[in-house]
Amino acid sequence: MSVIDDVFRKLRATGRKALVAFVPAGDPDLQFTEELLQGLSAAGVTLCELGLPYSDPIADGPVIQAAYTRALARGIRVQEIFDLLQRVTPRLACPVVLMTSYAIVFRRGLEGFVQECARRGVAGLIVPDLPVEESRPLADVCRQFDLSLIQLVTPTTPPDRALRIAAESSGFLYYVTVTGITGERDQLPAELTEKVAWLRKHTDLPICLGFGISRPEQVTTLAQVADGVIVGSALVRRIAQAESLGRQAALEQTLQFVRSLLAALPQGEVARKT
């Protein structure tokens, strides 16, 4: 059982749901990223998803892509991010998963990259540009090092392919709530609940919903039908204010927003009894 498997096993046992917080590595710098990861963990976030900056957008909207561009312009390197992880993961109460382009994995070699992740305390990988048909080699290596390979299902994924993705995934299944790129949305698709309910009937893998989630009320609604929610652009937009508001103000504003999302999650059986 991987670290992420254990996290969701404990959540299900108590009726609680996960909040996954996306953080772009190195924006505005790695020191801020380190402080933010520790703050998110202390606030009670279930998982932190750390994005490795990449020059070509995969499914990233303008907010996340701008954060990556700023980090790359400052000369951030993958090895520096691994060094950060080695420092910070032992101090976190929540696991960290990396979101990265397959090009970065391939360049270092599958086993070399995954082994480095394991050494630095990473619990799983999300590789959005790796199709399920080509994912088995990386999945096999991840399994050797007890890392989860989390794969994505979108609203336009045909049912038979969605089932294959679920079968090939580990840790949890990342269900993309909207078509298109990341970014905050005022409304989410009306048919989302029905599609997630169908998928749940066909897999025991935890399902977390991401893309477009930006408000506490959305978290409350979606947590009723999923095992967790993933929030990215709404956090990154607040992180981006480090230059205009100052680092400490941006950090506190981001953490305060996260606390409002955590408060919106169903509290589970344990909390209701106390």
Does residue 146 carry a catalytic annotation? Answer: no
Question: What per-residue confidence (pLDDT) applies to 89?
Answer: 98
Q: Which of 5, 27, 49, 116 is catalytic?
A: 49
Per-residue pLDDT, averaged over 138-149, amounts to: 97
What predicted TM-score, i.e. pTM, was given to this entire model? Answer: 0.91
Question: What per-residue confidence (pLDDT) applies to 152?
Answer: 95
Question: What per-residue confidence (pLDDT) applies to 184?
Answer: 40
Q: How confident is the model at residue 195 (pLDDT cuts 50, 70, 90)?
A: confident
What are the pLDDT digits (tens) for 50-104? 999 998 767 667 888 899 999 999 999 999 999 999 999 999 999 999 999 999 9
Q: Which of 60, 116, 184, 227 is catalytic?
A: 60
Comparison of pLDDT for 55 and 249, the residue scoring more:
249
Per-residue pLDDT, averaged over 150-172, amounts to: 94
The average confidence (pLDDT) of the chain is 90
Per-residue pLDDT, averaged over 7-29, amounts to: 96
Q: How confident is the model at residue 16 (pLDDT cuts 50, 70, 90)?
A: very high
DSSP 111: H
Per-residue pLDDT, averaged over 182-211, amounts to: 76
The answer, yes or no, to whether residue 187 has pLDDT greater than 60, is no
Does residue 60 carry a catalytic annotation? Answer: yes
DSSP 26: T
What are the pLDDT digits (tens) for 99-129? 999 999 999 999 999 999 999 999 999 999 9
Identify the weakest region by mean pLDDT among 41-50, 209-218, 263-272. Answer: 263-272
The answer, yes or no, to whether residue 167 has pLDDT greater than 60, is yes
Per-residue pLDDT, averaged over 40-47, amounts to: 98
